[in-house]
A and B are shown apart, each in its own frame.
Chain A
Amino acid sequence: MPVDENKLKRILNKVQKPARYIGNEWNVCLKDHDQVRLKMAFAFPDLYEVGMSNQGLKILYDSVNRNPQLLMERVFAPAADMENLLRENGLPLFALESRESLADFDVVGFSLQYELSYTNVINMLDLSGIPLYSDIRDNHDPLVIGGGPCVYNPEPLAPYFDFFVIGEAEEVLPEILSEIALLKAKGLNKRDLLVELSTRDGIYVPSLYQPVYDKGILQGLKKLESRAPDLIKKRYIEDLDRTPYPTAPVISYIETIHDRAVVELFRGCARGCRFCQAGYTFKPVRRRSQDSVIDTAKQLIAATGYDEIALSSLSSTDYPGLELLISQLDSALPGGSVKCSLPSLRLDSYSVKLADQLHHGRRSSLTFAPEAATERLRGVIKKNISEEDIFAALKDAVNAGWQGFKLYFMIGLPTERDEDVEAIPELCRRIRQYFKKREGRSLKISVSVSTFVPKAHTPFQWEPQLTVEQVVRRQEILKKGFSNLPGVDYSWHDAETSMLEAVFARGDRRLAPVVERAWQLGCRFDGWSEHFSFKKWKKAFQDIKIDPESYAYRHFKYDQSLPWDHIDCGVSKEVFISEHHKAVYIDGGEGGANGTFEL
């Protein structure tokens, strides 16, 4: 049953940005619930305007709804004011299209983009009246499933989920939903259904495995069901040109984070930056052909009315023939009123040339991510750009009229020393000086420094994160360095937020109750600095008797079981070991993070 319309009206009159909750947007897909065989709610555990920018949502909404027998609706995390009003009025969380409670769907699928959205997952289940734990939910409850980058280490959420979809889901999700409809019609009970599904590539059913610990150290997973696979292979699309793409995505009424059309140039990345999980998990590189890009762009603009189209990928300037493609797009799209944009620019002259080709009008600032300020450390992370390249690229940009730069760096990378940190403000000083002397130009530079979080399925997965104290000390070095640099804007990420991210990024199943406890203590939207409360999280860890530091700061040994060993991302452990070894012992000059890393 849809939620009570009158009650909803009263609530919408009181909340901020009520358009987050009204649905009925352009290109929305409305289906009769009685005419489909299976209903799925796509649940995004963050605000509407964040979730509506997510390309995964657009792709899956399209791929599932293309099948007339399946239905997918959307739901997002309600902001605090909406949550309170829903609870006060006894209304459940509802899907935007039909306004049906999530509990009335066959499947509720969470998009797990970011570790700090986990309390929102719990909150959304609770607001829908869906039992939190998989083993409490029965045949009548929805199946709760998850996908997205976080499922490359799904263990901290394992007990809440019936299964995870590992990898790219646009093929496997409609397949598996149809199969669920079939198996349900046959009357299979939940356990048998999950066992059946677990035999499909890309499906991980956590309840069929049990972690084994020895003196608190994970030894591996024990299978509880012989048919379940030892390794869960990720699914991926082989040919982008032959896979349907959402050319008429839902367009929000309110402004979203990335309010533009998006066409994907390619998936995967040939660069192999060693800190980057997406670089490894999205292998191999698969390109969309130029014809397909142009055709898709035309359809997108016609169906949306957007005035901007982003050419997206992990490293768009690596697309072969990009210059030609952009000029072809220019002539293919309605004259003058649609502009193209590139979301990520490499710090090299070629990228600046492309930006020059794309960007008409005011040129305020260009964004680059050198990540590290010394050539040595850039070698360690395999972001191989020389200082010469950097200056050449910036010079071209200044000559083309750009007034400033936004630069992203990380601290806490493996093998980092104080001199690498000091080099960040130093590099900015040299950039400013260079342009002041040569060109007489005073550049605006803004610098954003985040803290390295070691992620599963990367060569740095064995590395510890810097302790909060160490991070704060290095941030002090930066503050001091930037304090006498006028014209440079320095911002940094909160050390404790990054620590929590690190805990969950490499955590195991023992962390699951901490998420529920933190949620009970009031944690929501932990990725939003205005909502994040480390105090509550600390209390949650204490209550469950888990030491978060032992998770964030631990270094794994090569022969040790990792919580994500059963997830096969397509890159073998040998490759990661060899890359890690090269990073810290060859490219890094001398060994190990903080000099303490042992094999």
Chain B
Amino acid sequence: MERLSFSFARKPELAYISHLDMMRLLLRALRRSGLPIAYSQGYNPHPRLTLALPLPLGVTATEEYGEVYFSESVGPQIFLEKLHRQLPPALELTGVFNRKPELPALAAEVSAAQYRVFIETYINQGLFFQDLNSAIISLLDKEEILMERINKKKKVTYKNIRPYIFKANLKQEEKNMLELGLLLKAGSSGGVSPFFVIEQLQQAGSALKLAEDGLWLVHRQKLYKGPEEALQPLSEGM
């Protein structure tokens, strides 16, 4: 059994597919490549491929991670060559690593994600900046931001996600382009979607209709592990 982890970038042409679509795409690519992917034991065996953190529909990314088990030794170089040939150009493999069997699952390690939200403003950029900036400040000032969720018993529950927003800031990129930076808690121990935070900000806009007056494109820059006060890149010690 061989365990490999890999990193990849997702470009705009492929932004509009869901996590499940992404898994299907990778599995089909792996099958076409002829690489000996390993299957889980049990009644319904499934291929042993996981992504560190689902990439939401509409989001591009620079450095995502996944891991895969093979039933025979493949080696990073062959993996890269064979899989690369089966992937669409908008999904670029950027690295492959041998991952020690004793290390935890990648998905269990992820603790935070950094997003860059590019906002192309259609009107009055100065006002847009001010409006959004004050929305950010007041959002961060809040002690409680409740997110509605439906639990397994189909009951509505509320979760305070304010502690999940580690950082949020706004800068002006170029004319007509703002960049909203978000560092958000993520992973199996709880997290918040960038779209939820964006929605809160858009609704808080007072002067403009922030959602309609700009094109918001979400990009995931980096994944992290470790506690909030000592975040490390997920790639550390890969």
**Interface set of A (CB-CB < 8 Å, partner B):** 9-10, 12-13, 18-19, 22, 24-26, 251, 253-255, 301-307, 334, 336-337, 361-362
Contacts and interface: CB of A to CB of B under 8 A. Distances in A.
Contact of A302 (B32, B215, B216): B32
Interface string B132-164: 000000000000000000000000000000000
A333 to B, nearest CB: 11
Nearest to B45: A336
Interface string B107-150: 00000000000000000000000000000000000000000000
15 contacts: A10-B215, A12-B16, A13-B58, A18-B16, A19-B21, A22-B13, A24-B13, A24-B88, A25-B88, A26-B88, A251-B28, A255-B21, A302-B32, A305-B28, A362-B43
B39 interface: yes
A26 B58 contact: no
Given A305-B31, A334-B31, 16 more contacts: A10-B215, A12-B16, A13-B216, A13-B217, A26-B88, A251-B28, A253-B21, A253-B24, A254-B21, A304-B28, A305-B27, A305-B86, A306-B31, A307-B27, A336-B39, A337-B39
B22 to A, nearest CB: 8
A22 B28 contact: no
A304 B32 contact: yes
Nearest to A337: B31
A334 B47 CA distance: 14
Contacts of B90: 24
What are the 8 closest A-B residue pairs judged by CB atoms, nearest first?
Answer: A305-B28, A18-B16, A305-B31, A305-B32, A253-B17, A253-B21, A19-B16, A19-B17
Contact of B44 (A10, A25, A362): A362
A374 to B, nearest CB: 40
B230 to A, nearest CB: 36
A496 B80 CA distance: 56
A25 B87 CA distance: 10
B25 interface: yes
A253 B215 CA distance: 24
Contacts of B27: 305, 307
> Residue among B28, B44, B86 with the most chain A CB within 10 A?
B28
B14 to A, nearest CB: 8
B216 to A, nearest CB: 7
A10 B214 CA distance: 9
A13 B12 CA distance: 11
A505 to B, nearest CB: 36
Interface of B: 12-14, 16-18, 20-21, 24-25, 27-32, 39, 43-44, 47, 57-58, 86, 88, 90, 215-217
Contacts of A307: 27, 31
Main secondary structure of the interface of A (DSSP, over half): loop
A22 B43 contact: no
A306 B32 CA distance: 8
A170 to B, nearest CB: 25
A13 B119 CA distance: 12
B168 to A, nearest CB: 21
A562 to B, nearest CB: 47
A14 to B, nearest CB: 10
> Residue among A19, A301, A361 with the most chain B CB within 10 A?
A19
Contacts of A22: 13, 16
Nearest to B29: A305
Contacts of B47: 337
Contacts of B14: 24, 253
B16 to A, nearest CB: 4
Nearest to B22: A253
A255 B29 CA distance: 15
Nearest to B86: A305
B38 to A, nearest CB: 11
A535 to B, nearest CB: 33
Contacts of A334: 31
B136 to A, nearest CB: 21
A306 B44 contact: no
A336 B46 CA distance: 11
B17 to A, nearest CB: 5
A26 B14 CA distance: 12
A251 B86 CA distance: 12
Contact of B24 (A9, A255, A303): A255
Nearest to A305: B28
Contact of B32 (A12, A255, A303, A362): A303
Contacts of A304: 28, 32
A26 B28 contact: yes
Nearest to A21: B16
A336 B37 CA distance: 12
A18 B58 contact: yes
Contacts of B24: 253, 255
A10 B12 CA distance: 13
A307 B45 CA distance: 13
> Residue among A25, A26, A301 with the most chain B CB within 10 A?
A26
A361 B44 contact: yes
Given A303-B32, A307-B31, A361-B44, A253 B13 contact: no
A254 B17 contact: yes
A547 to B, nearest CB: 46
A81 B41 CA distance: 43
Nearest to B89: A24
Contacts of B86: 305
A303 to B, nearest CB: 7
Contacts of A26: 25, 28, 88
> Residue among A12, A305, A306 with the most chain B CB within 10 A?
A305
B24 to A, nearest CB: 7
Contacts of B217: 9, 13
Contacts of B12: 9
Contacts of B31: 301, 305-307, 334, 337
A251 B28 CA distance: 10
Nearest to B30: A305
A327 B20 CA distance: 32
A42 to B, nearest CB: 22
B200 to A, nearest CB: 18
Contacts of A254: 17-18, 21
Contacts of B25: 26, 253
B195 to A, nearest CB: 11
A19 B88 CA distance: 14
A429 to B, nearest CB: 33
Nearest to A22: B16
A50 B223 CA distance: 37
Nearest to B25: A253
